[in-house]
Amino acid sequence: MLCTCKSSCADEREQVMVLLQGADLRVLGEQALDVPVTITRCLSQLAKARRAKALGFGDEVAALYQRVAEHDRAQAIRQINGVIAQIDARTTQPDWADLVKGAQNEFEVRDGAALLVEARERLQLELLEADGLRPADAREAITVYDDCLARISSAGLAGAVSLLREGLARGGEALMHPDMGGQPASPIPAATIICWTTVVALAGAALVLCAFLPLCWCCYLSVMVAWTALMWAACALVAPLL
């Protein structure tokens, strides 16, 4: 695949997915991106249930939205468990260790660490221009990226995939909380961070895999930064735009 410098968000997402496909990670990546969408739908129904009570529509109306939210919560938990199972299955296959080693070697030969730093600088500028992104959200987004950068620097592809797994596991724990939707600092910030972690982990894994393809890094860095910034802005709004 040759990277193109001008593309739409849909094209950028597809390039990320094609790179993941080369390591048999595409399906789990696409399914991981579906998790924040289901969580968002769950949060919306919980909010409607609370508004129904506040507006005096009665317990039956509130209970209806609550039941729908519980269905979405259960679906999100199933999705998370399914993706984690796929990650565990993929990372225990015989070819995984060689793939990780080969990707790391190519990444180092192409000075991937320098590209990660450059990507961070570009991402800072993209987030700076993201209207509607709150300062605290922008700071948290960079914190998540720095975590991924550290993981990739030390463990390459395996580091990015482990970050994805841990982020999903945290999401599952948040969804299992009995007061999910009612805690003072939850669930929107938690859901947003889960979404950010998913996006940056997949983009980081794709960037490492890009080292295998001739000319891929000519423009892929721009693609990854643009897609990541757009998706992080969507995550910050906790909107089903993935």
| Whether 9 contacts 222, CB under 8 Å | no
Per-residue pLDDT of 211-240, as tens digits, reads 777 667 666 667 777 777 777 767 766 543
The verdict on pTM exceeding 0.85 is no
CA–centroid distance for 27 within its chain: 14
For residue 216, is it within any domain? yes
Q: What is the 3-state secondary structure (H, E, C) of 165-196?
A: HHHHHHHHHHHHCCCCCCCCCCCHHHHHHHHH
Per the structure, the count of domains in the chain is: 1
Q: What is the 3-state secondary structure (H, E, C) of 5-24?
A: CCCCHHHHHHHHHHHHHCCC
Spatial CB neighbours of 201, under 8 Å, sequence gap ≥ 6: 148, 160, 161, 163, 164, 167
Per-residue pLDDT of 108-127, as tens digits, reads 888 777 877 888 888 888 88
Region of poorest pLDDT, from 110-124, 141-155, 173-187, 190-204: 173-187
For residue 72, is it within any domain? no
For residue 191, is it within any domain? yes
Structure tokens at 234: 């969507």
For residue 179, is it within any domain? yes
For residue 78, is it within any domain? no
Q: Given a cut of 90, is residue 206 above it in pLDDT?
A: no
> Which structural domain, as residue segments, surrounds residue 204?
9-26+95-236
Peptide linkage before 187 cis (omega within 30 of 0): yes
CA–centroid distance for 112 within its chain: 21
For residue 203, is it within any domain? yes
For residue 126, is it within any domain? yes
Spatial CB neighbours of 87, under 8 Å, sequence gap ≥ 6: 28, 161, 164, 165
pLDDT of the residue at 240: 39
Residue 93, CA distances (Å) to 49, 128, 185, 210 in order:
45, 41, 39, 21
Task: Give kind and range of the element (H or E) at residue 63.
Answer: helix 59-90
Helix, coil or strand: residue 4: coil
Mean pLDDT, the chain, as a whole number?
A: 81
For residue 241, is it within any domain? no
Q: Given a cut of 50, is residue 96 above it in pLDDT?
A: yes
DSSP 98-149: HHHHHHHHHHHHTTHHHHHHHHHHHHHHHHHT-TT--HHHHHHHHHHHHHHH
CA 40 – CA 47 distance, rounded (Å): 11
